[in-house]
Amino acid sequence: MSTPGERGLKDAARHLGAVLPHGRSLPEAEWQSRQRGLRWLLWAHVVAIPIITLLFDQGIDQAALDLFTPTFFAVIAQLRRGSRRVQSLIVTIGLLSCSALIVHITGGLIQAYFHFFVMVAALSLYEDWLPFATAVLYVGIQQTITAEIVDYDEANSPWRWAAVHSAFIAALSLVCLATWRASARDREAFRSLVETLEEGVVMIDRGGTMVTANPSASRILGMDPTEVISGYGVNGEWSFVDVDGRPLPLRETPLIITSMTGQPQVAVVAGLRRRQKETRWLSISTRAVETDREPPYTIVVSFTDVTEEREAAEALERSNTELSQFAYIASHDLSEPLRMVSSYLGLLRRRYHGKLDQDADEFIEYAVDGAARMRQLIEGLLEYSRAGRSEEPAEPVSLSLVTADVLRSLAVAMVDSGAEIEIGDLPTVMGNRGQLEQLLQNLVANALKFNGDGRARVWVYAEGEAHGMTQIAVADGGIGIAPSKREHVFEMFQRLHDREAYEGTGIGLAVCRKIVERHGGRIWVDGREGGGTVFRFTLPSG
């Protein structure tokens, strides 16, 4: 059983191990890059040390002898054998040995000792406490040997300077360790944040090699992200496709576009199609990390799985299409028999009105009126099924011109209602002209119809633009709509008044909503200050 003192020492050792940076937080690719740089620094000494030897007039033989030390360590380091720490210790001892050799070549020149500090600063790239501990120990031993055996200058190189120099190196090491620890803590917090994201995140360096990826990346892709990055266009087991299911060329992927241009790509939908498996649809965003240098750039890629959303949207689109087709076919097929029924009912009314009893006349009137209402409903269904079905591409449409055409078509209704209409400066929007004319005609016609007992007053004006959408308002001074009923006015066959008071099928506003939504906007209704109603809707700016 361990004593309290031993347990205290173990706890202190564990605490010290947790506080000191150990280099394991560096991603493998990043550590290899830093190790490669330090190896090149070691190879640079293979060239520099013989030159320094010759500059201090020690001859070619001594230069050849001095060349052995840096060459030995450079060759050993180039073999890249062992773990990270083994490789780092080889480079560490090699660089420190070069420092000691330079001090020896210069005869203990005080300026030569600065080389130790430069090498210790270079070792900070490892972000590990072990190379620093090695440096402190190495300098202590080297200075002791120098003081006791070589002893360049009795005044400047007594053995006590071994402790002084080691202390300087230790102080530099502690400063670097404290800085690293704060940096490592921030990185660990950031890494924890990224790893807990449900969104997949991958970083890819300039050479197209994956630097790091969070756990969600593998889960969303259903495979190792490295396979996707390194095997694109080569591995026949999977491929990327565009939204229409066509193969997506490598040059058109968000990754390559951002890598070569530095332009971010946001929420680009692409499918990861795997052989004999379902396509997994992704929403991909990319951003360049360092755009202040020449491409290609290091890229951060984030993506989410939108397979379920896409399938739901496709199912809804199919359902809406089928419903529209059903409404169109049903209403179209009903039109002909209803036309025949209406014709014969009209014939009965003309031929037998007043010749039968009063009840018969009344019954015929009810039948004729019912047939007329049914015809209106069928025509409304046809109108609703056609609304927004145009496959024509969106084009710039002047709402001022469209409104002028609408007012000409409603001239009779305007005269009947004694309308006062004010049209503001209306912008150009992107859309289908015929559908937008139908939208405005329905709204203005409603304003003329629901005017109450006075003269109709209508205002049509633009209310501004935001996020690429223009907001338009159609206001009236009519009877208004109760707040509790405003949410339902856009539903099909919703009537707020009796047919005896106001004619209509209750489909017009449903058509308006369908047109606006097909254009990517939204429509709603508000009360107007002073009485009346304001219909507001948004459309893509032209």
| pLDDT greater at residue 233 or residue 96 | 96
pLDDT of residue 498: 46
Q: What are the backbone angles phi and psi of residue 253, rounded to the nearest 5°?
A: -75, 150
How distant, in Å, are the alpha carbons of 163, 246, 312, 358, 361 from that of 355? 132, 72, 61, 9, 9
Lowest-pLDDT range of 261-265, 443-447, 488-492? 488-492
CB 176 within 8 A of CB 132: yes
pLDDT of residue 1: 47
pLDDT of residue 412: 80
- Tokens representing 466 are 């935001």
Longest CA span, the chain: 145
pLDDT of residue 487: 74
- Nearest one of 289, 316, 284, 286 to 303, comparing CA atoms: 284
- Nearest one of 252, 258, 257, 260 to 296, comparing CA atoms: 260
- Nearest one of 138, 26, 23, 31 to 80, comparing CA atoms: 31
pLDDT of residue 376: 63
pLDDT of residue 75: 92
Average pLDDT estimate for 60-85: 89
Can you list the pairs that 497-506 forms with residues at least 24 positions away whose Cβ atoms lie under 8 Å?
499/373, 502/449, 502/450, 503/449, 504/449, 505/376, 505/377, 505/379, 505/380, 506/380
Determine the Cα–Cα distance for residues 32 and 38; give it in Å rounded to an integer.
10
pLDDT of residue 501: 43
- Tokens representing 79 are 């073999």
**pLDDT band, residue 118 (cuts 50/70/90):** confident
| pLDDT greater at residue 274 or residue 465 | 465
How distant, in Å, are the alpha carbons of 45, 142, 421 from that of 120? 15, 15, 83
pLDDT of residue 223: 81
Determine the Cα–Cα distance for residues 476 and 349; give it in Å rounded to an integer.
40
- Three-class SS string for 303-335? EEECHHHHHHHHHHHHHHHHHHHHHHHHHHHHH
Average pLDDT estimate for 328-334: 63
pLDDT of residue 40: 93
| pLDDT greater at residue 144 or residue 126 | 126
- The pLDDT tens digits of the residues spanning 400-452 come to 998 888 888 888 878 877 888 888 888 889 988 888 888 888 888 888 887 76
Name the average pLDDT for the chain: 76
Q: What are the backbone angles phi and psi of residue 111, rounded to the nearest 5°?
A: -65, -25
Determine the Cα–Cα distance for residues 169 and 135; give it in Å rounded to an integer.
7
- Tokens representing 310 are 């896409």
pLDDT of residue 72: 93
Does residue 465 come out as left (phi exceeding 0), alpha (psi in the -120 to 50 range) or beta? beta
Q: What is the DSSP letter of 454?
A: S
pLDDT of residue 503: 57
Determine the Cα–Cα distance for residues 490 and 510; give it in Å rounded to an integer.
5
pLDDT of residue 500: 45
- The pLDDT tens digits of the residues spanning 493-509 come to 555 544 444 455 567 78
pLDDT at 478 over 70: yes
- The pLDDT tens digits of the residues spanning 54-65 come to 988 888 888 888
Amino acid at 68: F
